[in-house]
Structure 1
C-alpha cells in the first residue's frame, strides 16, 4: 500500500480523501477488504480515531461497508449520488412523469387533510398566479409552481413536500423553456387558469377524486407538450 503521511489539518478530510483515491483509482477493487484501522493509521500517520471517522465518511458516500466481525469492505468505486444529482441529469419529461405520480396523490391527500390555513394558502397562491399573468414567463412559472407547492403542503406529508422541493428547480426551467418556445401565453397570459381554479376548488371542497382528476388532466396536457418539443 502506497500512502504518504498527512499534513496536520484537517486530518479526517485528508484521510478520507486519500482512502477515496485508493478506491476510485482501482487500487482497492470492489469486494476488497481494507487494511485494519491500526495499519491504516500507521500508513497515514494519524490516530485510529481519525481513520475511524474517515471510514464513516466513505461509508456515508456509499464506497465502503463494515461487516460485523469481518472488517470494512469496498462496495463501490464511485460515490453514491443523491436525488438532486440524479435529477440534474434527468430529462425533464422523465422528471415530469414522476411529478404526475407524486402530485396527483398529493392533491387527493390535500383534499382530505386540508386545514383552514391550507385553504387560505392555496387560495392566496391562486391569486398570486393570476397576478403574475401580467409579468414575464419566469415570474408566471414561479407563481404556478408556488401554487402546486401549496397544494402539496396541504397533504401534510413531509416526504412528498421534500420530493416536490427537489423537483421544482428542474421543473421551473423546463416550463419556462416550454412557454418561450410554444408561446402558450401569447393569446392567454393566464394560461391554465381554469384548470388551476378547478384544482383549488376541489381541494377546498374536500373532493379528493375531483382534485386528482383535474390535476392529472392538466399535467398530462403539459407532459404531452414537453414530449412534442
Structure 2
C-alpha cells in the first residue's frame, strides 16, 4: 500500500482498521485481490497469525472473500454493503426492485433540491457514461452509470437516503454489469429524460423517468 508499521498493542484490531481503510478508500478496489499473506506480514511487521485473524474477521464481516488456491479478494466496501450482497445473492430482480424503491424517491427529491453545481456534475457523469457505452467500453461505462445514479440520489439532500443507497453501490454496479453482459442493447438505455426532468425541477417527471427505465429492465427479465 504501503501500510504503516503497527504498534505492538492490539495488533489484530490495528491490522483490521488499516485493511478496512485500504478498502473504504478504494486503495484496494472491489473485485481485486489484496496483497498476499507474506506481503502483508512484511508490510505490517506482524506475524502470520495476526494477519490471518484480521482477514478472517473482515471475511466474516463481508468485506473480503477468501478463495482457496486463488487468494483473498475485496467483496464490499463496508459491512452494510457486504450484508446487502449476501442478501441479494444473484437475484437480479430483487436488486432492481430495491433500486427502484430508492431511486424513484431519490430522483423526485433531486428535482426539487438539486443545485446548479450538482446539475453540472450530473451532466458530466451522464455524458461520460454515454460516451463509454457507445464506444462499448462497458467496464468503464458500468462504473460511470453507477456513479450517475448515486449522484442523483445524493442530490436529494436526504442524508439517510443517500447513505442507504451508498450501501448498495456494489450491488447496483453488479446489477448494471449483469444487465449489460447478458443484453448489451440495454447499455444504451437513455437517461437523458431523467437528467432533463431534474434540470427542469419537474419532480413527478423525474420520478417517472427513474422508475420507467427500471421497469423496462424488470420487464426484460420476463422476456
What TM-score range do you get, normalising by the shorter chain?
0.5 to 0.7
- Distance between the aligned counterparts of 1:158 and 1:146, measured in 2? 17
Matched-pair contact (CA < 8 Å) for 2:96–2:175: no
Deviations 1:69-113 (A, max 9, x none): xxxxxxxxxxxxx53233112133212211111110010000010
How far did residue 220 of structure 1 move? Answer: 0.9
Q: What is the match of residue 45 of structure 1?
A: none
Aligned-partner SS, 1:206: coil
Provide the aligned length of Structure 1 versus Structure 2: 149
Deviations 1:170-208 (A, max 9, x none): 1212321221222326xxxx6112xx1010000011000
Greater Rg by CA: 1
Q: What is the match of residue 66 of structure 1?
A: none
Q: What is the match of residue 203 of structure 1?
A: 198
- The answer on 1:144 being equivalent to 2:141 is no
Show structure 1 runs of 5+ residues with no match: 1-8, 14-60, 62-81
- Distance between the aligned counterparts of 2:84 and 2:219, measured in 1? 20
TM-score by length of 1: 0.58
4+ aligned runs moved over 6 Å, structure 1: none
- Distance between the aligned counterparts of 2:116 and 2:219, measured in 1? 35
Aligned-partner SS, 1:184: helix
- Distance between the aligned counterparts of 2:182 and 2:165, measured in 1? 25
Q: What is the match of residue 173 of structure 1?
A: 174
Matched-pair contact (CA < 8 Å) for 1:87–1:95: no
How far did residue 126 of structure 1 move? Answer: 1.5
Show structure 2 runs of 5+ residues with no match: 1-8, 14-60, 62-78
Q: What is the match of residue 111 of structure 2?
A: 111
- The answer on 1:85 being equivalent to 2:98 is no
- The answer on 1:128 being equivalent to 2:125 is no
Matched-pair contact (CA < 8 Å) for 1:92–1:171: no
- Distance between the aligned counterparts of 1:220 and 1:160, measured in 2? 21
- Distance between the aligned counterparts of 2:136 and 2:165, measured in 1? 24
